Structure formats: structure tokens, C-alpha cells
Structure 1
Amino acid sequence: MSIFRFPLLVWMGIGTLIISLGIRQSFGIFMMPISTHFDTGREFFSLAIALQNLLFGLFQPFVGMAADRWGARKVIWTGAVAYGLGLYLTSIALEPSWLYLTLGGLVGLGLSATSYVIVLGAVARVVPAEHTAKAFGLTTAAGSFGMFAVIPGAQYMLSDFDWQTAMQVFAMLCGLILAFSCFMKVNPTGNKAADTDDNQTLREALKEAFNHRGYWLIHLGFFVCGFHVMFIATHLPSYLADKGLPAATAAMALAYVGIFNIFGSYFWGVMGDKFNKRYVMSALYFTRTLVIAAFVLFPITTETAALFGGAIGFCWLGTVPLTSGLVRQIFGARYMSTLYGLVFLTHQVGSFIGAWFGGRIYDYYGSYDPIWWATVVMAFLAALIHIPIDDRPVVRQLATA
């Protein structure tokens, strides 16, 4: 199937992810101006972002269940309202503690209802199973394009205006998500082409997944991904500033993460359609291991920061089409939003720890080095974890085919 023949819902999902995840990935460049404005240490902002990611994950299974029952459109509409409100209230916050409710709680809820789990769950219902990894890869790449497009704009607003103005502009962009959601109508109970067993209940689906060892290995791998992504997105700007590099270097590095992930997400998704997804996932994590280790070992310059952004970007969110593709391949599309939502919860627990511990370790040791090396070890272990996963469709699916 050509990408140009994907249904309209896929393209509306892409538009949603460009805005939702583009804004989310820019929060790292707000750490220093917001910390300076409220006269707090880095751990304060780190904890607000960590709370956002934890709630992003905690809301995800419930939001996924709502999408499986009532459809993606209503869920995305609700999420866009929460997202925009959280950003606007952050911009007018008078006390730093407000950010735990606004940037943490409301934005966390908004992200949960407007990002991968909901969009990919809807896509899985309208795209044939043999093309899901490719479709997931293209859709995942949209979040990276948003990162490439939004971060330079955010840096411009921080330079020429202030962080409050940037947050208010972001809040207005959430209105576009509302518009996109109007075109994302899909039957919440699925369709015969996508589902292998319409009679399976949610309780049965959960029991089936919880008794599958591979499902828990997928959880562990995605935990590592969350740890990596939010540690780097949140703390890379400050790490580069500590090395004496200008703020523009951090914005450039994160923008490179975004643009190279556009190609990387689609590439890993296509590889997941052509080859065994668990081996492709192992290859991705081995690549991350080498990239992060090289970044820590070599001198930090503007050039190496750009190279790191491009290299880590290539394997940044390639885990999403592969992980979601494994869940779809093993358990089917019927309850994918719920089952992948639970996996994504584990991802966000990793995000919480990565974002928070980054600031905690820096404030305690005055250095990011310990946590950089921890990311190297975790990447290597994640590469090994995926090899023993049994990725065959469950017996129920074979029996009802």
C-alpha cells in the first residue's frame, strides 16, 4: 500500500501528533527561563515535567479504554481542551507550585488523549494488518516533524518575547487539534478487517495479555525508551549549557533529533514490516547504546552535539511503530488502545524517572555523567530483552482466523 493511499484518518492523526508531540518535545528549552523566573533549582522544573510524564502514562490505559469504547474523536477533542488549558494556565502562573497542576496535570492529561496510543489505535482499525508497521512508522514520524518545526519557533519566541508568550501560542495551536479530530471518526468497536475476534471481552483481553511473558518484556523495553527520551529531551539543553555551548546549539541538536527521527521512525517501521520486529527492536537499542556511549566519550562541541542529535534522532521513536506493531501482531487490533496504553504507562514511568532523576542527580553531584552512563547500560539491556519475545499471534487469533 502506497502511503498516499492511506485513509484521511491517518493524515488527521499525523496533524494531531505534529502539534501535540511537537509542543511536548520543546519543554526542555523552557527549563532555564522558567527556573530563573521562579528562582528555583533545576529539580523543580524536572519534577513538574516528570509529573507530567507520569500522569501522561497513568491516564493512558483509561483513555485507551475510552477510545476503544467511544471512539478516538471524542477522546482527542477532550484532550485538546485539557492540553490548551494547561498551557495557558502555565503562562499566567503566579507561584511555581501551580506548574504541578497545569504543566504537570492538565498537560499530562492532554498528551495522554492526543498522542500515540489513541492515534495509532484508530489507525490500526483502518489499515490492513500487513501494512500497520509502515503506517505506524509514518504516523510516529509526524511527532518528530513537529519537534523539528516547533522547537526553533519556541526558541525564537524565547529570544524575542518570553516564555509566557510561547506557552500562550502553544495553547492556541491546540485549537487545530480540535479541528483535526472532527475528521477522525472510526467505529469504536472496530471492523471485521482489523479485528480477529469481536466477541472477546476486555477482561479476557487483559487476562490474555497479562499471562503472556512477551507482553511483560515489551513493557520492560518501553520503560527504557521512556527513560532515554525524557532524560535527553529535558536535560540535553542544560547539559550543553554546562559545557559552555550557546542555547542555540541545544535548540539545533533537538531540532536534529526531530528531523532525523522523521526518517528513522519510518525506516524502523518499514523494517518491522519486512523483518522480525523483535530483532529489529534489538538492533535499534544496540544502535542507541553505541550512539550514547560515543557522545559521552568524545569532547562536547557544537559539531558533536549536532551529530548526536541526528544519530539519536534516527533511533529516537523508532521504538513506537515496533512496540505498537508487536502488540497489534500478538493480540490483534480490537483492544490495542487499551493494551498499548498499559505498555505506554510503563514507558511514562520510565519518562518520570528519567526526567526527575536527571535533575536530582545533577543537583546532588553537580554532574550529569552518572546518569549518562546509566542510559548506556539500560540501552544494552533493552537490546537483549527483546530477543526472547514470542511474537506469534496468540492461539485465540489462530483459532478464529
Structure 2
Amino acid sequence: MASNERTRGSSPIWWLVLLAAAGTFALTMGTRQTMGFFLSPINTATGLGLGSISLAFAFGQLWWGLTQPFAGAFADRVGAGRVLLLGVSLVALGTFLTPFMTSTLGLILAVGILAAGGAGMAGPSVLMAASSRLIPPERRGLATGVVNAGGSFGQFLMAPLAAALTASLGWVGAMQSLALIVLLALPAAWVLRGGPVSGHQSMSPAALPAREALGKALRHPGYLMLSAGFFVCGFHVAFLATHLPGVVAACGLPAPVGAWALGVIGLFNIVGSLAMGWAVGRWRMKSLLSLVYAARGLAVLVFLLSPKTEAVLLVFAAVMGLTFLSTVPPTVGLVGKFFGVGNLAMLFGAVMFAHQIGGFLGAWLGGKVFDATGSYDWVWYIDIVLAAGAALVHLPIKESAPARQAQPA
């Protein structure tokens, strides 16, 4: 009876942890993903040109990834609360200051360093590691899926909100309103403030010094294979997010179809993230990752061979949405399996940086290939080859079969 009472007493805390982590990711990721919506107004106001403004946004892609291993290492040592507090505040500050910037350097500071860096500090590596420390081990797979879905929901929610605020307040008022809305995530820093050790991972290896932990990881073949696969994931995701509207135009379809396709990706990404969070506790995570990458490559191949109609494009967007960020829960899970949760935030942050390098190349190469050939076909071919390589590279990873959880009496 006492055991049952303790379980019931801990249940609200478990859900509060998930709500805090997923809500924070929704607000920071959603705000960050709406920045492209303001690219044209910023260009009109500053006259800098899209190339100069895009440089600030591209720098933000890399900086978001680079901050995560360092933020993760700090969170591993002192707990996630202080890191999240600083990260959320920087996202709000950078977003609020952006309308005042009239030079490329100023935009790099506001968008590329403050806002993107803050989003990295309050990003998936810190949030998922904090959640993994504060909930029972058997629920961690589902938890990473829920947190990941929170980012997708924020992306889906904040874009129409930004459009509505722009229509009523103008683009400057809209950006500054979004900056204030991000501050709603500050209470989550208190909920997720737990330190590097909790009762749920007493059997996990103790946290190592950051340099020692990273050196150990870089000598681990499975970790390197996992990073290579996540590099491919970043290439896929950034290419689609950046160039899908251009793909729609190249297919001769109306421009609104591109917006619908991006919305479909966001919606189905929520489904894929939750489904993968459920699956990681039941099947080998390396096999799930191979399946996801193989499905992406097959979907791209079918899309290339199909007539380019609105229905085909939306179905393609739905399939890609299911696989869009569903790689995150098993990737986090494998890092935790390899090294425990003591250094999880920093080590997953390093994998996320590999993801962002791939993302930078996917976004940049898409534009370069289209300028050179007038088509995206060669990027799709590269996409298929990379997907096949990622599907194969996960197979040699040594992973034990998931333990079957006994049902509680």
C-alpha cells in the first residue's frame, strides 16, 4: 500500500517534468523557427539584401548546434535550471533587439548569437537530459518523444501566431511580443533544476569531467556511427525546411502548397516523435534508426518517380514529417545506453552539433545546386545516397535487446 501511495504521489511530478521540458522546447524552437517569417520585413527596413541577412540566419544554425555541448557540459555539472534560465532569457533578449539592428553584424549578434545561442542552451540536449534524470528509466523513451514533439508543436503553433501579431501590431511589435511570450518558459527552469544525480539513475555511471567523457565517447565506435547518422539527419531536415517552397515552385505548383506542405511536416512530426518515443522501449534503437533513414530514402525515390501533383507533394510531406525528427529519441537513448545519464547533455549536444553541420550543408548545397543546374534533382540524388549510408552505418552498432518491463502488481 505504501508503495502504491508513493507511485501516485510521484505521478504529477512526472507529468510536470514533461510539461516543463516540452513547453520550453515549444516556445524556444517555435520562436526560432518563425525568424524566417521576418526575413523580408527586415530586408525592407534595413536594405541590407537577402544575402547579408541570410548570413546571420545561417550563422545561427551553426551557433545553435555549437552551444549545445557546452551548455550540456555545464548542465551536467550544476543542473539544468541555471542553464535554462540563461537560455530562455537570451532568446527573449535577442528576439526583442532584432528590430533595432540595421547592420549585418548587428543581426549576427541578435539573431545568430543571442537568440540562437539561447535556444541552444534551452534546446534538446539540456531538456532531454534533464527529463531523463528526473523520471523513471522505463519511461525515458516516451519522455524524449514527448519533449521532441513539443518542439514540433511550437513550430506549428508559433508561425500562425507570428502572422496574426504582424497583421495587428506590425512586424516590430510582433517580434517583440514573441520575445515576451518566450519568457513564459522561465518557470520550467525551476521544475527542471535537478542536479547531476537523482534517485532514478543511481545505477548509472557517475558523471566524468567533460574532457574525459568526450574523449571516451570519441573512442567509442557506436558513438561515432551515431554522429555520422545524425549528420545525415541534419542534411535532410535543413534541406527540406529551407528549400521545400522552392521545390514546390520548381514543380510548377501554387505557392500556398509549399506552406501547406511545411504545415503537414510539422503535424506529422508530432506523430512520428510520439510514436518513436513509444517504440524505443520495445525494439532495438539502432534498428529503428536504420528503418527511419531507409524510409526517407525510399520516400524521396518514389517522389522523384511520381507525377508532381499537389496530392503527391502533400503525401510526401506527411511521410517525411513522420521521419523528420523521429531520429531524436533513439539517438538520445543510445547515447544514454553507451555512457549513462551523467554526461548525457554534453554528449548528446556534441551529436547535435554534427547534426547542425549537416544542416548547414543541406541548406547551403540546395541553393548552390539549384543556381548551377536550375533543378534540385542532384540534391535529391545525394539525399538518397546519404539515407542509404545512414541506414547501413547504424547496423554494426552494438546494442543489447531492450529489457522487458515486468507489469506492476
| d(CA) in 1 for partners of 2:159, 2:109 | 23
Q: Within 5 A, what are the aligned runs for 1:91-102?
A: 91-102=99-110
Residue from 305, 309, 316 that aligns with 1:308: 316
In structure 1, the partner of 2:293 is: 285
Shift of residue 161, structure 1, vs aligned partner: 6.2
Aligned length: 393
Deviation, 1:368, is: 3.0
Structure 1: gaps spanning 5 or more residues: 394-401
Partner of 2:126: 118
1:328-374, Cα deviation, whole Å (9 max, x unpaired):
11111111011111111111111222223333333444433322332
- CA distance in 1: counterparts of 2:241 and 2:102, whole angstroms: 26
Cα distance in 1 for residues equivalent to 2:252 and 2:166? 19
Is residue 23–residue 185 contact of structure 2 (8 Å, CA) maintained in 1? Answer: yes
Q: How far apart, in 2, do the equivalents of 1:142 and 1:233 lie?
A: 18
Query: How far is the alpha carbon of 1:96 from its aligned partner?
Result: 4.0
| 1:114 Cα offset (Å) | 1.1
Q: Structure 2: any 5+ residue segments left out of the alignment?
A: 1-6, 402-409
CA contact (8 A) 2:137 2:200 kept: no
Structure 1 residues 199 and 329: CA distance shift in structure 2, 3 A: closer
Distance 1:70 1:377, change over 3 A: same
Q: CA offsets, 1:264-304, max 9 Å, x none?
A: 11111221110010001000111111222333443444333
CA contact 2:153–2:266 (8 Å) conserved in 1:
yes
Instruction: Write the mapping of 1:382-401 to structure 2, written as runs, cut at 5 A.
Output: 382-392=390-400
What SS does the aligned partner of 2:346 have?
A: helix
**Structure 1 position 238, deviation (Å):** 3.6
- Listed one character per residue, the Cα deviations across residues 81-128 of structure 1 (whole Å, up to 9, x for unaligned) are 111122222223223443222221212211111111010010110122
Equivalent in the alignment of 2:248: 240
Look up the SS of the partner of 2:224 in the other structure.
Answer: helix
Flag the 1:97–1:331 CA change in 2: closer, same or farther, 3 A.
Answer: same
Q: TM-score, normalised by structure 1?
A: 0.89
Alignment partner for residue 153 of structure 1, among 140, 158, 161? 161
2:67 maps to 1:59: yes
Aligned-residue CA RMSD (Å): 2.7
CA–CA distance in 2 between the matches of 1:304 and 1:131?
A: 37
> Is the aligned partner of 1:11 residue 2:11?
no
1:49 and 1:188 map into 2 onto residues whose CA distance is 33
| 1:396 match | none
Q: Greater Rg, structure 1 or structure 2?
A: 2
| 1:360 pairs with one of 368, 380, 385 | 368
After TM superposition, the structure 1 stretch with the greater mean CA deviation from structure 2, 131-140 or 157-166, is 157-166
> Structure 2-normalised TM-score?
0.87
The amino acid of 2:34's aligned partner reads S
Q: Does 1:182 align with 2:202?
A: no
Match of 1:84 in 2: 92
Aligned equivalents of 2:125 and 2:48: distance in 1?
Answer: 34
Structure-2 change in CA distance of 1:289 and 1:102 (3 Å)? same
* Sequence identity percentage: 37
Q: Distance in 1 between matches of 2:250 and 2:53?
A: 17
8 A contact 1:43–1:363 mirrored in 2: no
